[in-house]
């Protein structure tokens, strides 16, 4: 059997561990694994790379992805690129393809399976944790760890200078990273896209903390959070070349507004790509390894159109379309459970 593998979308700690889980199980069964570089671009342009001789065991610990990645997708220009992908698969005589990616990568995988019966299996990754049909995606908890530790550390400098520090977290339109790390680090306010907020209320709450004796305050703000001022949303709604909303810059806007409105000196810290950088935490290594191994099992059983997923601690398989049908954002149940941490609670 010959199997192709690629990693698409933004990198996430654990990608190499997923390749390790897949590779070790397939190679043990005598399967030849072929890598494709740079996400779907590798299939469109036939950027094949031999994985013979890869030390899968050592690969496990490394961040990033051995295969490179991109946000490209054959459905950006389907008439030109879908036949190219199918031709690459035929040229390499692949029996199956394993797509390791998030919403965009797996969305294209689902369409290629549904529309062209391309034998494909998915593995979910994204630090954003916004894929449905799986409790978590690998990379998410590594990102949460980075932000939590950063907030822990920022508190000392915030207190030394009696400042507000607004910490901007990734996640696009999902507030998972911000919510988990904000709660874990005891942030004074947590702003997520799922719960719109007013700048007036945020400032009033910060003012209350200050009057009650707080030396500093940390505001954990998701890059996609929606904070309104005089009925207008402060965050940008511009789209990038892949049709995704351009996020980022909200911490700076918020810090300036807070300082202007209540005169509490404020600074912005953008966590940025540190959230995706470096080695995965142990949980993500093992989690990704299990998902990769599950994908290998699906391939060996010739069960295509499925994705490996985590549900209640068990690694199971789910139809690809279930994973990409809907973006998984913070639920009302989650927000209500941690209600007191999400300030200001909006009445919008």
Among residues 12 and 60, whose Cβ is nearest to ligand F6P?
12
What is the Cα–Cα distance from 193 to 176, expressed in whole angstroms?
10
Active site positions, annotated: 128
Shortest distance in whole angstroms from residue 143 CB to ligand F6P: 8
Residue 126 or 142: which CB sits closer to ligand F6P? 126
Q: Which is nearer to ligand F6P, 172 or 285 (CB)?
A: 172
Triad 163, 165, 166: Cα angle to 5°: 150
Least separation in angstroms between residue 336's CB and ligand F6P is 25
Nearest distance from C-beta of residue 70 to ligand F6P, angstroms? 9
3-class SS of residue 137: coil
Q: Token pair 């342009």 is at which residue?
A: 45
Compute the distance between CA of residue 193 and CA of residue 178 in angstroms, rounded to an integer.
10
Q: How far is the CB of 274 from ligand F6P (least distance, A)?
A: 11
3-state secondary structure of 34: strand
| Beta-bridge mates of residue 36 | 48
- Cβ proximity to ligand F6P: between 35 and 39 the closer is 39
Q: How much helix, strand and coil, in percent to the nearest 5, is found in the chain?
A: 40, 20, 40
Q: Which residues contact 157 (CB under 8 A, 6 or more apart)?
A: 163, 165
∠ CA 236-237-238 to the nearest 5 degrees? 95
C-beta closer to ligand F6P: residue 4 or 10: 10
| Shortest separation between residue 247's beta carbon and ligand F6P, angstroms | 5
CB 99 within 8 A of CB 112: no
Which structure tokens are listed for 63? 């961040």
Question: What are the angstrom distances between the C-alpha of 32 and each of 5, 18, 41, 52, 97?
Answer: 11, 17, 21, 8, 12
Q: Which residue minimizes CB distance to ligand F6P?
A: 170
Written as six digits, the tokens of 307 are 């994705």
Q: Which is nearer to ligand F6P, 88 or 235 (CB)?
A: 235
How near is the Cβ of 261 to ligand F6P at its closest, in Å? Answer: 27
Which two three-digit tokens encode residue 43? 């299939």
Contacts with ligand F6P by CB under 6 A lie at 10, 126-128, 170-172, 223, 247, 276
Residues linked to residue 270 through DSSP beta bridges, in sequence order: 168
């Amino acid at each position: 059997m010959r199997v192709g593998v690629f990693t698409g979308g933004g990198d996430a700690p654990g990608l190499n561990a997923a390749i390790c889980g897949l590779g070790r199980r397939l190679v043990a069964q005598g399967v030849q694994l072929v890598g494709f570089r740079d996400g779907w671009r590798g299939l469109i342009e036939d950027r094949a790379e031999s994985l013979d001789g890869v030390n899968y065991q050592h690969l496990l610990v490394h961040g990033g992805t051995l295969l490179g990645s991109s946000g490209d997708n054959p459905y950006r220009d389907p008439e030109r690129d879908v036949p190219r992908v199918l031709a690459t698969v035929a040229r390499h005589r692949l029996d199956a393809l394993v797509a390791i990616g998030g919403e965009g990568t797996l969305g294209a995988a689902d369409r290629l399976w549904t529309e062209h019966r391309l034998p494909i299996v998915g593995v979910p990754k994204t630090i954003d944790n916004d894929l449905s049909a799986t409790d978590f995606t690998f990379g998410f908890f590594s990102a949460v760890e980075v932000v939590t530790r950063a907030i822990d550390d920022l508190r000392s400098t915030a207190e030394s200078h009696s400042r507000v520090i607004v910490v901007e977290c990734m996640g696009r339109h999902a507030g998972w990273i911000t919510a988990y790390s904000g709660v874990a680090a005891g942030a004074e306010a947590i702003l997520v896209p799922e719960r719109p907020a007013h700048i007036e209320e945020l400032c009033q709450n910060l003012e209350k903390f200050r009057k009650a004796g707080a030396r500093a305050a940390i505001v954990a703000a998701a890059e996609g959070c929606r904070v309104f001022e005089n009925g207008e949303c402060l965050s940008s709604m511009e789209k990038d070349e892949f049709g995704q909303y351009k996020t980022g810059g909200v911490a700076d806007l918020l810090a300036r507004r807070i300082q202007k409105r209540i005169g509490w000196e404020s600074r912005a810290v953008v966590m940025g790509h540190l959230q995706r950088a470096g080695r995965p935490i142990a949980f993500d290594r093992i989690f990704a390894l299990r998902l990769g191994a599950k994908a290998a099992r699906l391939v060996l059983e010739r069960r295509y159109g499925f994705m490996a997923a985590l549900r209640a601690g068990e690694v199971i398989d789910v139809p690809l379309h279930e994973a990409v049908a809907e973006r998984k954002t913070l639920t009302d149940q989650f927000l209500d459970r941690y209600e007191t941490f999400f300030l200001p609670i909006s009445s919008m």
